[in-house]
Amino acid sequence: MRPMEKAQSSPALGVFWMIVTGFCFVAVTALVKFLDNAIPAAEAAFLRYVLGLVFLLPMLKSLMAVRLTPKQWKLFGLRGVAHTLGVILWFYAMTRIPIAEVTAMNYLNPIYVTVAAAVFLKERLAARRILAICAALIGALIILRPGFREVNSGHLAMLGTALLFACSYLTAKLLADEVPASLVVAMLSITVTIGLAPFAFAVWVTPDLHALFICFGVACFATAGHYTMTLAFRSAPLTVTQPVTFLQLVWAVSLGALVFGEPADIWVILGGLLIMASVVFITLREAQLKRRRVTPAVNEPKT
């Protein structure tokens, strides 16, 4: 069998796919905003995942053939619980605070992942990364401005969302070393659907066709966003694609102002950019260290 050829790096294509990814994820937030409390947050999240299961049908046969170890089952279960609670809080936050604030606070996820990796996976946390993390937390404080304005339940929900998603992504990192990426994605959809079911049925309100259509649209754009993000990662390194994600904040601010009448808040933009700059710095630093590890020394044989 011929070895699989490595995908050729194409920075322009990577940037393009990441821009498309940003459009998809901003479309997700806009559609959830359009629901406007028509159905409870837990039910909306459940319908999004149930309707999204249709995209797993082509993989059903291969999924049923997989055999997991007890440890992997526990990791999938842990990720399902964390992501379930995070999704509920995210849908709740979308009904309480502007799109721009949700988008800006979402940038905290990689920061939490970095901290958690240092605590639980014993990864080294250098001084520069600590400073970047501190800068990101200052950015979050700029967005929230406690003492200068009301910090409502939506803001607290987003802080919880970022923490829970960080737990989910860290668990995914552990699983990605042991099972195929497609299985990691599929199991997330299945476990979160099961996890959301009791929360949804506890507050169930019969949805109309409009709500079902929006939830299916959320599922479509979310799935498309994850797919195009994968294409972006395959086309170019993170050092190229990661900075493009700040455009999501630009689009979120514009969408909130033009469609939902949410005034552009300079403090939210400033805080979001500070968090994003911290994420970009950590990404660039990680890529630099990775190149150092894989680059042979002068006298080292290059095999």
DSSP for 35-55, please give it. HTTSS-HHHHHHHHHHHHGGG
Query: Which residue has better confidence, 290 or 179?
Result: 179
Confidence of residue 300 (pLDDT cuts 50, 70, 90): very low
Contact 136, 300 (CB under 8 A): no
pLDDT, tens only, 54-93: 888 777 777 777 788 888 889 999 999 999 999 999 988 8
Say how many residues make up the chain: 303
CA atoms of 240 and 13, how far apart (whole Å): 10
Query: Which residue has better confidence, 303 or 265?
Result: 265
Q: What is the pLDDT of residue 5?
A: 44
Confidence of residue 10 (pLDDT cuts 50, 70, 90): confident
Stretch 220-233: mean pLDDT, rounded?
A: 82
Contact 273, 108 (CB under 8 A): no
Q: What is the pLDDT of residue 258?
A: 80
Stretch 245-264: mean pLDDT, rounded?
A: 79
Instruction: Tell me which range, 86-100, 130-144, 254-268, is most confidently predicted by mean pLDDT.
Output: 86-100
Radius of gyration of the chain (CA): 20
Q: Where are the domains of the chain?
A: 11-294
Q: What is the pLDDT of residue 302?
A: 40
Q: What is the mean pLDDT of the chain?
A: 80
Is 50 exceeded by the pLDDT of residue 298?
no
CB environment 142-165: b (16+ within 10 A), e (fewer) = bbbeeeeeeeeebbebbbbbbbbb
Confidence of residue 4 (pLDDT cuts 50, 70, 90): very low
Nearest to 235 by CA among 34, 84, 11: 11
CA atoms of 127 and 147, how far apart (whole Å): 30
Is 80 exceeded by the pLDDT of residue 110?
no
pLDDT, tens only, 157-206: 988 998 898 888 888 878 877 877 678 778 888 899 999 999 999 999 99
Confidence of residue 301 (pLDDT cuts 50, 70, 90): very low
Contact 139, 82 (CB under 8 A): no
Question: Residue 208: which region, alpha, beta or left (left: phi > 0; alpha: psi -120 to 50)?
Answer: beta
Confidence of residue 293 (pLDDT cuts 50, 70, 90): low
Q: What is the pLDDT of residue 296?
A: 41
